[in-house]
Every structure is written in C-alpha cells, then in structure tokens.
C-alpha cells in the first residue's frame, strides 16, 4: 500500500471554530470534492474541546498529497484562516498500513 494519510489538529481562537469551518468550506472543501486523489476526508469537531478541529485525509500516494498542498489557492486559505486560529496546526503525515474497506 502506498497510500498516505494526513492527521491535522487545528486550534481555533476561543469561540471561532465555526469561522475556521466557514473558511475551510470556501477554500478546501470544493477542492477535496473535485480531487480524485482524496480517497477519504473527515473534518471533525473535537467533542472534548470546543475550539479544536481534527481532520483526517487519505491520499492515493505521497505525491498527490504534496501536489494538493502546493496548489496556488492554498496560500489564500492559510492567509484567511490565520485570523481565526491560535497557532499553526499540528500536522502528522502517516503511511497507511491497513484499512477496513
């Protein structure tokens, strides 16, 4: 399996998690929906922290992940979302070893 997973944890400024989601829906969601290299994508609210968003992405391979994150639109997303987050997100790439299909 050459698939690449990406785990991301965003911490929004207090009470601004919905604003982060709004910016994500504007910039990221339509591109994920149109990207055949995204095999799975989960945008989740952390049930234990009202300011945290957890994202899981599964790409067909590492190159596809890198291509997606290098898109010209990505800088605009980061610029807009930065006004609502406390710090840079925690990002953990991972190699998929097993998955239930």
Query: How is residue 6 annotated by DSSP?
Result: E
Instruction: Count other Cβ atoms within 10 Å, centred on residue 17.
Output: 21
Number of domains in the chain: 1
Q: Is residue 43 a contact partner of residue 53, using CB atoms and an 8 Å limit?
A: yes
What's the domain range around 36?
4-95
The answer to whether residue 100 is domain-embedded is no
Q: How does DSSP classify residue 89?
A: P
- 36 is a domain residue: yes
So what's the pLDDT on residue 100? 87
Tens of pLDDT, residue by residue over 43-91, are 999 999 999 999 999 999 999 999 999 999 999 999 999 999 999 899 9
In this predicted structure, the answer to whether residue 101 has a pLDDT above a threshold of 80 is: no
The pLDDT mean for the chain works out to: 95
Whole-angstrom Cα distance, residue 34 to residue 95?
23
| Helix/strand/coil for 19 | helix
**101 in a domain, yes or no?**
no
Residue 18 in domain: yes
Domain assignment present for 13 = yes
CATH at residue 80:
3.30.70.100
> CA dist 10 to 30, 61, 71, Å?
19, 23, 20
Residue 55 falls inside a structural domain = yes
In a domain, 19, yes or no: yes
pLDDT tops 90 at residue 2: no
Tell me the pLDDT band of 1, cut-offs 50, 70 and 90.
low
Check whether 31 has a pLDDT greater than 70.
yes
CB 4 within 8 A of CB 59: yes
């Amino acid at each position: 399996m050459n698939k690449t997973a990406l785990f991301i944890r965003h911490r929004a400024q207090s009470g601004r998690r919905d604003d982060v989601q709004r910016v994500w829906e504007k910039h990221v969601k339509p591109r994920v929906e149109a990207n055949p290299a995204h095999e799975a994508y989960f945008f989740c609210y952390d049930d234990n922290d009202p300011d945290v968003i957890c994202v899981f992405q599964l790409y067909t391979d590492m190159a596809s992940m890198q291509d997606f994150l290098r898109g010209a639109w990505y800088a605009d997303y980061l610029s807009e979302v930065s006004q609502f987050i406390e710090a840079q997100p925690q990002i953990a790439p991972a190699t998929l070893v097993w998955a239930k299909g």
